[in-house]
Amino acid sequence: MLGQVTFALIVATLTVATVFGQAGAPPVEPQSSAGFDLSGYWTAAQHEDALERGPGPELVDYGGFPINDAARLFALSYDASRVTLRHHQCDGYVTAYQVRATGNARAWEERDPHTQRLIAIHWYNQTFEGHRTLWMDGRPHPAPYAPHTWMGFSTGRFVGNALMVETTHIKQGWLRRNGLPESDQATTVEFFVRHGDHLTHTSVITDPVYLAEPLVRTTDFVRQPVDHRNWLFACDDGEQILGRAPDQVPNYLFGQNPFIREFGNRYQVPLAAHLGGAETMYPPNATMSRPVAESDALARTRPGAGGSVASRAVNPEPSDGDVHVLPIRNNLYLLAGDRGNIVVQVGDEGAFVVDTGAGALADKTIAAIGRLSDRPIQFIANTSFRPDHTGGNATLRASGVDPSVQGSFFSRQFADAGVGATIMAHQNVQNSMIALRMPPSGVPSDTFLQERRRTFHNGDAVEMFWEPHAVTDGDSLVHFRRADVIVTGDIFTTTQFPFIDVSHGGSVEGEIRALNDILSRTVFQHEGEGGTLIVPGHGYLCDEHEVVEYRDMVVIIRDRVQALIRNGATLEQVKAARVTADYDTRYGATSGAWTTDMFVEAVYTSLMSAPTRPTTQR
Amino acid sequence: MLAALTVMTIANGAAQGRGAAPPRSPRTAAPVDLTGYWVSLVTEDWRFRMFAAPKGDFTGVPLNPEGRKAAQAWDPARDAASGEACKAYGAGAVMRMPGRLHITWVDDTTLKVDTDAGTQTRTLRFGTPQGPAGGWQGVSAASWDRSPTALESQSPGSEGQSSGGSLKVTTTKMRSGYLRRNGVPYSGDAVITEYYDRFDIAGGDSLLVISTEVVDPTYLLQPFWTSTHFKKQNDSTGWNPTPCSVK
């Protein structure tokens, strides 16, 4: 009897709690009490787009994709041989494309062991071992200067009968792996709906760079009762094309893609239709129901007339007048907010700072460093002379001290030896800053002439590598070897076309060499991402993938300009050819300090000049 | 114990709606509003849906040998001549046709789906399905498929629509037709199960996603799954009823 009473009380209590909620009980988060369980093994029902999702899509089959002109030109320039490049061989798929990949998937929940509240749902795809974490605990998305990944950063919540997931911070990848690009500015909203053992996934991709309208796609999964036992996706980058020069990136010049008509001829589809565009995803319209003039269709395979367009990308650099700190790895931090990126290594020996920003927020930079370490700044390394990387030199130097000089023989020669941090850079940085009459106290005093400058600091091997004639004649990379972080200065940014300053010794060929030099030092961790981290001069924290895409872009634009020069084109004709048309919506500028026209002129001018060779200081 | 049992009784009474209003009609109980004009976004199987693929191209459809044989025998001229131009506009494929839907309530228990592609009408009836068998659209039984979320969040006796739920439609007794324009077949014995879900996204757009399972032992080796999506329109812009076409 006692047992029955106890059971009844338990049942009654649970019933009340379920129906009314219970006064005094901890608040129940909606996501922990509602929704459905996604856990289990799933297999994609690959009945739609089976050819694309299996062996691969047809070339120049863009029909139904609401792409803009830039995306179409990017895709037409794409040569599938590009995947033979070492740094592309293990490229993964981005979020929404991953879901449509062939292979198996599984999902599982991650719950707080103490409260059983739902923290995250994990979704793992066999293809490229794509592992997504859908955060269900209400955490915010990272700052714009945080890294991008294949899977992006996802947060979810149950809405009605669906799990709604919002994803940001996605790498550049494919809308379709025949060259149709999805930019790193894309975001997705997804809906997972479960009907018994069937799961429907809906993705809505918004991409201001490459889409004219959101791209909606739906994918079906069928639940499997057993483990497929086939979860790995082996990949290494061991394939080599012997004899290919490091500055070769397979691509087709505008108007020279040899496969433009292959798809249309095979399936009797008009060219104007399978070149894609928002109009091609709607019910039959003029494009598909009546013939489009041959010349009009072909015109879509080349840049249109008119000037370049401005970037539609979000500037990831904070502009709120504050300095923001992002941990990078080990004892390294990114300080963003004073225009150029600043990197700080902290430790017992004192802070090692790479670049000092524009200097407007130098006091806040010093305060931020002070919160990371109670040791003073000992070293400052400059990647370039440019004011957005050296502007804070004088102030930061004055706040620091170099005890390695104090007490040495230098102190007998110089009264101020060791007073303030030591600034190091390539000799040409010093030359340029003196020539430009920049504040003497901010000019590097510890310079090097060739190859590299190295030091071991705070338990890490720190190397500076001179990159001759890249954006200027004095650029350096700074490689923290143990942390495996490379600080690139303006050789690489995520915000603009490379700022090739021809008047200070920059050149497009040197820029390509420098980007390849970065790539010669990187090692990815998994499926082409992670591993060596890259801090650009401006923009968000990266890995080698962003550098590869940037290198490809510079090479491809170089190739176009070079081809025009060979045909006798003038600078004005090169500009009119819109050689950057497929990248303008990502990096272009029509005003400001570095416009697209200025970049094209720099490429043209440096190619028209005598071949640049590595030299020492001026 | 008495107190506990009393509370339990109150709770159960409230949950079951004792003394509450009579059961609501399917229309008033709708967990989601599917009515209005919807335009298809053809972003998948594009060349199969926008154009008639070549004969014998049934990529992705799990046909059995009999199904392959039937697909290879496709003859659009014969279909047109024999008055069967609408074979690709039956319940098994009409929602995949590029076009617009107009969804309305006929009465409290019947939804109607008009398509401008092929000028077809589907009648989705809640409760006991009715209607003539052997037509292109067959006989469809509708029900609301509510998620546990919706059931938990809907307070007893509440009026109006609550979020969270799908329209489930089971269709049988069709005239045999095509899953794709190019003669990929389904038989009159097929059973088609559909789920209609609506998603509202930022910026004011709404999507209708129809997940479809076709089970057909006559021509398919396994269930054939597709999901087809539409965007909500504010009005009838673009509504353009056209006759069935074999091309």
Of A108-112, A288-292, A606-610, highest mean pLDDT: A108-112
How much is the pLDDT for B147? Answer: 64
Query: How many structural domains compose chain A?
Result: 3
Q: Say whether A161 and B228 touch across the interface (CB within 8 A).
A: no
Owning domain of residue B219: 30-146+164-233
B186 vs A49, A585, B183, CA distance in Å?
19, 46, 9
Q: Does A425 share its domain with A387?
A: yes
Residue A315 counted as domain residue: no
Q: Does A121 share its domain with A28?
A: no
How much is the pLDDT for A12? Answer: 36
How much is the pLDDT for A289? Answer: 55
Examine the fold and report which residue of A224, A247, A279 is the final residue of a domain before the chain moves on: A224
For residue A356, the domain's CATH number is 3.60.15.10
Residue A362 has phi, psi (to 5 degrees) of -60, -40
Q: Is the pLDDT of residue A339 over 60?
A: yes
ipTM for the predicted complex: 0.90
Residue B152 counted as domain residue: no
Query: Which residues in chain A (196-235) have CB-CB distances under 8 A to chain B?
Result: 198, 200, 202, 204, 214-220, 222
Mean of the per-residue pLDDT values for chain A?
A: 91
Q: What is the pLDDT of residues B160-219, one digit of tens each?
A: 334 679 999 999 999 999 999 999 999 999 999 999 999 998 888 999 999 999 999 999
Question: Which of these ranges, A158-162, B102-106, B224-228, has the smallest mean pLDDT?
Answer: A158-162
Residue of chain A whose Cα is closest to the Cα of B8: A12
Residue B123 counted as domain residue: yes
The answer to whether the beta carbons of residues B91 and B137 sit under 8 Å apart is yes
How much is the pLDDT for A287? Answer: 54
Residue A513 counted as domain residue: yes
Q: Does A582 share its domain with A490?
A: yes
Residue B25 counted as domain residue: no
Q: Is the pLDDT of residue A612 over 70?
A: no
How much is the pLDDT for A611? Answer: 55
A16 contacts in chain B (CB < 8 Å): 7-8, 11
As a whole number, mean pLDDT of residues A496-525 equals 97
Q: Is the pLDDT of residue B85 over 90?
A: yes
Residue B24 counted as domain residue: no
Q: Does A28 share its domain with A94?
A: no
What single-letter DSSP state applies at residue A170? B
Q: Which of B37, B180, B197, B62 is nearest to A218 (CA)?
A: B197
- Rounded distance, CA A558 to CA B175, Å? 61
pLDDT tier at A307, thresholds 50, 70, 90: confident
CB atoms within 10 A of CB B9: 12
CB atoms within 10 A of CB A457: 18
pLDDT tier at A417, thresholds 50, 70, 90: confident
How far from each other are the two terminal CA atoms of chain B, in whole angstroms? 74
Q: Is the pLDDT of residue A27 over 50?
A: no
The answer to whether the beta carbons of residues A515 and A491 sit under 8 Å apart is yes
**Distance from the B211 Cα atom to the nearest Cα atom in chain A, whole angstroms:** 7
Query: Which residues in chain B (164-193) have CB-CB distances under 8 A to chain A?
Result: 164-166, 168
Q: Is the pLDDT of residue A609 over 50?
A: yes
How much is the pLDDT for B148? Answer: 56
Residue A267 counted as domain residue: no
Q: What is the pLDDT of residues A211-246, one digit of tens each?
A: 999 999 999 999 999 998 889 988 989 888 999 999
Q: Is the pLDDT of residue A425 over 90?
A: yes
Q: Is the pLDDT of residue A22 over 60?
A: no
Query: How many structural domains compose chain B?
Result: 1
Judged by a CB distance cut-off of 8 A, whether residue A413 touches chain B is no
| Cross-strand partners of B39 | B100, B231
**Distance from the A220 Cα atom to the nearest Cα atom in chain B, whole angstroms:** 7
Residue A615 has phi, psi (to 5 degrees) of -130, 180
- Rounded distance, CA A502 to CA A515, Å? 17
Q: Does A511 share its domain with A364?
A: yes
As a whole number, mean pLDDT of residues A454-481 equals 97
Residue A376 counted as domain residue: yes
Judged by a CB distance cut-off of 8 A, whether residue B39 touches chain A is yes
Q: Does A28 share its domain with A172?
A: no
Q: What is the pLDDT of residues A174-204, one digit of tens each?
A: 999 999 999 999 999 999 999 999 999 999 9
Q: What is the pLDDT of residues A344-400, one digit of tens each?
A: 999 999 999 999 999 999 999 999 999 999 999 999 999 999 999 999 999 999 999
Residue A302 counted as domain residue: no
Q: Is the pLDDT of residue A578 over 80?
A: yes
Query: Which residues in chain A (45-74) have CB-CB distances under 8 A to chain B?
Result: 45-51, 61, 63-66
Q: Does A12 share its domain with A44?
A: no
How much is the pLDDT for B153? Answer: 45
How much is the pLDDT for A524? Answer: 96
Residue B17 counted as domain residue: no
Both tokens of A95, joined, read 């979020």
How large is the C-alpha radius of gyration of chain B?
21
| Cross-strand partners of B199 | B207
Q: Is the pLDDT of residue B220 over 80?
A: yes
State the SS3 of A243-309: CCCCCCCCECCCCCCCCCCHHHHHHCCCHHHHCCCHHHHCCCCHHHHCCCCHHHHHHCCCCCCCCCC
> Testing the interface with B: which of A281, A285, A287, A288 to mutate, by most B Cβ within 10 A?
A281
Residue B224 counted as domain residue: yes
Contacts of A414 (CB under 8 A, 6+ apart): none
Examine the fold and report which residue of A207, A224, A241 is the final residue of a domain before the chain moves on: A224
Q: Which of B29, B36, B180 is nearest to B114 (CA)?
A: B36
Q: Which of A118, A343, A133, A106 is nearest to A230 (CA)?
A: A106
A218 contacts in chain B (CB < 8 Å): 44, 209, 211, 227-229
For residue B130, the domain's CATH number is 2.40.128
For residue A44, the domain's CATH number is 2.40.128
Examine the fold and report which residue of A182, A201, A224 is the final residue of a domain before the chain moves on: A224
Judged by a CB distance cut-off of 8 A, whether residue B62 touches chain A is yes
How much is the pLDDT for A292? Answer: 72
Residue B23 counted as domain residue: no
Q: Does A396 share its domain with A475?
A: yes
The answer to whether the beta carbons of residues A70 and A209 sit under 8 Å apart is yes
**Distance from the A454 Cα atom to the nearest Cα atom in chain B, whole angstroms:** 52
Query: Which percentage of chain B shows pLDDT scores above 70?
Result: 85
Residue B170 counted as domain residue: yes
Q: Does A26 share its domain with A95?
A: no
A17 contacts in chain B (CB < 8 Å): none
Q: Does A27 share its domain with A104?
A: no
A45 contacts in chain B (CB < 8 Å): 223, 225
Q: What is the pLDDT of residues A48-92, one digit of tens each?
A: 999 999 999 999 999 999 999 999 999 999 999 999 999 999 999
B164 contacts in chain A (CB < 8 Å): 160-161
The answer to whether the beta carbons of residues A175 and A205 sit under 8 Å apart is yes
How much is the pLDDT for B119? Answer: 98
Both tokens of A120, joined, read 């995250």
Look at phi and psi of residue A530 and say left if phi exceeds 0, alpha if psi is from -120 to 50, else beta: left
Residue A273 counted as domain residue: no
Residue A496 counted as domain residue: yes
Owning domain of residue A565: 324-608
As a whole number, mean pLDDT of residues A542-567 equals 98
Q: Which of B184, B241, B207, B225 is nearest to B63 (CA)?
A: B184
Q: Say whether A19 and B14 touch across the interface (CB within 8 A).
A: yes
Q: Say whether B51 and A51 touch across the interface (CB within 8 A).
A: no
**Distance from the A343 Cα atom to the nearest Cα atom in chain B, whole angstroms:** 37
The answer to whether the beta carbons of residues A505 and A474 sit under 8 Å apart is yes
The answer to whether the beta carbons of residues A340 and A393 sit under 8 Å apart is no
pLDDT tier at B132, thresholds 50, 70, 90: confident
